[in-house]
Chains A and B, each alone.
Chain A
Amino acid sequence: GNSVTQMEGPVTLSEEAFLTINCTYTATGYPSLFWYVQYPGEGLQLLLKATKADDKGSNKGFEATYRKETTSFHLEKGSVQVSDSAVYFCALYSNTGNQFYFGTGTSLTVIP
């Protein structure tokens, strides 16, 4: 079956620190992989995506590389800002059934 496992939080970092949030997946076939971000009281927003192995998704300084050999899609940012404080969800899309599967989310708090 399809599933996503991501690093549990909460994560607290100082501004300008390096961020890594781990995500691994189990999937049949060839899924697409995503990171979504959710700010308090809001819905999920797509942060970045990768649709095939070795693709690197990037946006707003965040990056993640689709690693088929390790079934991973870890999120990284070199220098976090207070405005990056949010909950981050790793997800996969399976075109078998046209469905998305989400991790449990990792809460990030960046302190000045």
Chain B
Amino acid sequence: EAEVAQSPRYKITEKSQAVAFWCDPISGHATLYWYRQILGQGPELLVQFQDESVVDDSQLPKDRFSAERLKGVDSTLKIQPAELGDSAMYLCASTLLVTGSYNEQFFGPGTRLTVL
């Protein structure tokens, strides 16, 4: 069964360091999402891609976060420098875009980031 892949699963870093997370969506899925999930809360959208283009990054803290999906397939989310408040689970999800219809969203296992 096709799955969304993410790595690493866990990352511990010190504040002010740079970290990067990788996501490989299900093959053929045009839309890719990065979410941040703080412990005890629901996922919050950070950035949404349609193929290689950013559709929505209004909630992405652009002074320290960046995201790219250069070939419209896999994606990287970077934080530089990391801050204590960035400790969270970072979830990647993808959907097969069908215009005007419901799109099931598939999630990866997430990357648990701890900033010390």
Chain B minimum-CB-distance residue to A46: B104
Q: Are B31 and A44 in contact (CB under 8 A)?
A: no
In the complex, which residues of chain B have a beta carbon less than 8 angstroms from the beta carbon of A104? 40-42
| Interface: B15 (CB within 8 A) | no
A-facing residues in B18-77 (Cβ within 8 Å): 31, 33, 40-45, 48, 50, 55-56
Total chain A interface residues with beta-carbon distance under 8 A: 23
Total chain B interface residues with beta-carbon distance under 8 A: 30
In the complex, which residues of chain A have a beta carbon less than 8 angstroms from the beta carbon of B112? 41
| Interface: A32 (CB within 8 A) | yes
**A91 to B40 alpha-carbon distance, docked (Å):** 16
Q: Are B48 and A93 in contact (CB under 8 A)?
A: no
**Also in contact, A43 and B108, with CB within 8 A (given A95-B100, A95-B102):** yes
**A31 to B107 alpha-carbon distance, docked (Å):** 20
**A97 to B103 alpha-carbon distance, docked (Å):** 12
Q: Which positions in B face A, CB cutoff 8 Å?
A: 4, 6, 31, 33, 40-45, 48, 50, 55-56, 91, 93, 95, 97, 100-110, 112
| Interface: A73 (CB within 8 A) | no
Q: Are A103 and B105 in contact (CB under 8 A)?
A: no
**Also in contact, A98 and B109, with CB within 8 A (given A104-B41, A105-B40):** no
**B107 partner, pick from A43, A95, A98, beta carbons under 8 A:** A43
**A44 to B109 alpha-carbon distance, docked (Å):** 8
**B45 partner, pick from A43, A46, A99, A103, beta carbons under 8 A:** A99
The residue among A42, A46, A100, A105 with the most chain B CB atoms within 10 A of its own CB is A100
**Also in contact, A98 and B43, with CB within 8 A (given A43-B91, A43-B110):** no
Q: Are B42 and A99 in contact (CB under 8 A)?
A: no
| Interface: A49 (CB within 8 A) | yes
